[in-house]
Amino acid sequence: MIGSRQISRIARCSLVAGLFVLASCDDGTAPQGQNAPPPPTVTVVTVAERDILTERLFVGRLEAYDTVDLHARITGFLLEDRFIDGQRVEVGDLLFQIDAAPFQADVALAKANVAKAQAVVDQTRGQSERTEILFGQGDVTTTKLETDRAAYQQAVAELAATKAQLLQAEIELGYTSILAPIAGRVSASTYSVGSLINSSSEALANVTALDPIYVTFAANETAMLTVKRERLEAGLDAAFDEDAGPGSRVIPMLLLPDGTQYEFPGEVDYVESNVDVRTGTIGIRAVFPNTEELLSPGQFVTVILADDAPTRGITVSQSAVQKDKDGAFVLVVDEENMVSERRIELGDEDGTEFVVDSGLASGDVVIIQGILKVRPGTPVNPVLADSNGGG
């Protein structure tokens, strides 16, 4: 019979032998007949430099190029208005006529006073000249001479005063005709014919110039700093000088409320010198042609601000970009089809792509699809996309 000690020894030997077999099977070699999984397939692009036309979007509001309120400058009855509400008027068109009869009478009276004063001047001048002769002959006293001279000088001063009164009367007569000071559209009249109006009355109407037209918008200080720095790095004018040559100006364009793009480009004509401390923005104004008066003051539009010449740069599809607490990065594939992480600095958006300021170079292969299937340090099967994100 086999003793208990012998049985125990056999069991221990069997256990050791089993562990040895297991260890030999776990040497990293797959069992015969079982293949390792293939590397995952990912879609990649080869990035390259291309022309980039940088565009930035802002919310803007249209403003009239010029607007003038029409006020009465004298007191009188409104006799007629010479326009249809809303019609287009030109400079010098008669818009309102105030009763001119009282002012015509004032002019006539002033002219009569001028004639009267002129007659007195002629009379006193002749008297003064005769007294001068008599004084030279010793026939009149010094007092008489001085009195006649003073009378003449007073008459001359009186003539000047009456001429000034005539001029004032003629000016006020001119105020009875209210003319269009600018070309544009005239509003509805505030007063009816027959109303008594004066300089304290509210505006009779206003004229608004619509061609050209302004659009004003505000850019945050960070965006403006970026724009100016990029322009300087590209050898362009950071001050948006409207007199600068091609390639150095910023060209504004408009997207209208219905989503269509306005066909005429504009021109930046004013940039505020200071940042608004309340909002952290800088005010910008652009001017656009509006010959067909499609644009109206008060409308909100989207302003597209673009350089008039492209710059060279690298872009990458937004689907390739990942972000974490340390910033943005992409996954690149090397010549041995191994994946690695690449940190990048992003610039502006360019359609469905990001402009890459740093971190990528022409020829880099970037994964744009299948990112979730891979991790850095693993092999992949890269498949080139039909069109790459690098241009």
Query: Which has the closest alpha carbon to 288: 61, 15, 108?
Result: 61
Cβ proximity of 286 and 38 under 8 Å: no
Residues in the chain: 391
- 270-276 own/partner pairs: CB under 8 Å, 24+ apart: 271/239, 271/240, 275/221, 276/218
Cα separation of the two ends of the chain: 87
Interior angle at CA 40, CA 38 and CA 44, nearest 5: 135
DSSP annotation string for 113-178: HHHHHHHHHHHHHHHHHHHHHHHHHT-S-HHHHHHHHHHHHHHHHHHHHHHHHHHHHHHHHHTTEE
Domains of the chain plus CATH, in order, are: 41-53+313-384 (2.40.420.20), 55-64+210-311 (2.40.30.170), 70-207 (2.40.50.100)
Cβ proximity of 367 and 333 under 8 Å: yes
The pLDDT, as a whole number, for residue 241 is: 52
The pLDDT, as a whole number, for residue 357 is: 86
Cβ proximity of 185 and 86 under 8 Å: yes
The pLDDT, as a whole number, for residue 248 is: 46
Tokens for 248, please give them: 């150095």
What is the Cα–Cα distance from 123 to 143, expressed in whole angstroms? 19
What is the Cα–Cα distance from 232 to 307, expressed in whole angstroms? 12
Kind plus residue range of the DSSP H or E element containing 94: strand 94-98
Cβ proximity of 266 and 288 under 8 Å: yes
Residue type, 113: N
Residue 376 neighbours by CB distance under 10 Å: 12
Name residue, tokens 């397939």: 41
Q: Chain centroid to CA 81: how far?
A: 38
Residue 176 neighbours by CB distance under 10 Å: 20
pLDDT, one tens digit for every residue, the chain (391 residues): 444 444 344 445 444 444 444 444 444 444 544 567 889 999 999 998 888 777 778 899 999 999 999 999 999 999 999 999 999 999 999 999 999 999 999 999 999 999 999 999 999 999 988 888 888 888 888 898 889 899 999 999 999 999 999 999 999 999 999 999 999 999 999 999 999 999 999 999 999 999 999 999 988 777 677 666 666 665 655 565 544 444 445 688 999 999 899 999 988 888 888 888 888 888 888 899 999 999 999 999 999 887 666 778 888 999 999 999 989 999 999 999 999 999 999 877 777 888 898 899 999 999 999 999 999 999 999 999 874 444 4
Q: What is the CA radius of gyration of the chain?
A: 45
What is the Cα–Cα distance from 82 to 323, expressed in whole angstroms? 67
The pLDDT, as a whole number, for residue 236 is: 59
Q: Which residues pair with 381 in a beta bridge?
A: 41
What is the Cα–Cα distance from 214 to 198, expressed in whole angstroms? 33
Which H, E and C letters describe 27-79, residue by residue?
Answer: CCCCCCCCCCCCCCEEEEEECCEEEECCEEEEEEEEEEEEEEEECCCCCEEEE
What is the Cα–Cα distance from 228 to 200, expressed in whole angstroms? 49
